[in-house]
Structure 1
């Protein structure tokens, strides 16, 4: 099942700390993405929760274009997320997901 996407917090994502999320692909086996960092963003005004970004890395040599992807994690379930390439991380190409 998992957590509804609008209920995911920076803390819930940070608790994954280096765990793999499986990027589901129609043309092959799932691609493991590793959580590298979670960054909260400053917001002016009242909000239920502050927006945050998650930085993920793919295996070296993997290349994904900007777009919508389904990521799977046992605790979070299947998430349809928009990934944006952000440059290399320590162990491979990096991608950012913004939760607003």
Structure 2
């Protein structure tokens, strides 16, 4: 699994608006990171919980599950994505980190 424990909201926030490449059967699919936000406060000494929201092509819908996303600056990451439904002609996905 590709998810270093030191990843945090601060790791992803600078990459909002950029594409993460989803390894998919056939051809890779681009998912744009559109939102990276804190979800309250974590335990003392633990990372702050956060969520990431991605937009992808509406014609490529996925069930929830762990997917490998690749980013030029962050490398490959295994992230559990949950579909939230369509938004403005694109499909929206969310990942929660606690």
TM range (shorter): 0.7 to 0.9
Change (3 A) 1:80 1:99: same
TM-score (norm 1): 0.86
TM, length-normalised to structure 2: 0.87
1:81 paired residue among 74, 79, 82: 79
| 1:9-88 equivalence runs, <5 A | 9-25=8-24, 27-43=25-41, 45-88=43-86
Aligned residue pair count: 97
Structure 2 residue 93 is the aligned partner of structure 1 residue 95: yes
5+ residue gaps, structure 2, are: none
- C-alpha change, 1:76 and 1:88, in structure 2 (3 Å) is same
Q: Assess if the C-alpha contact under 8 Å between 2:21 and 2:29 holds in 1.
A: yes
Q: More displaced, 64-73 or 83-92?
A: 83-92
Q: What do you get for the CA RMSD once the two structures are aligned?
A: 1.8
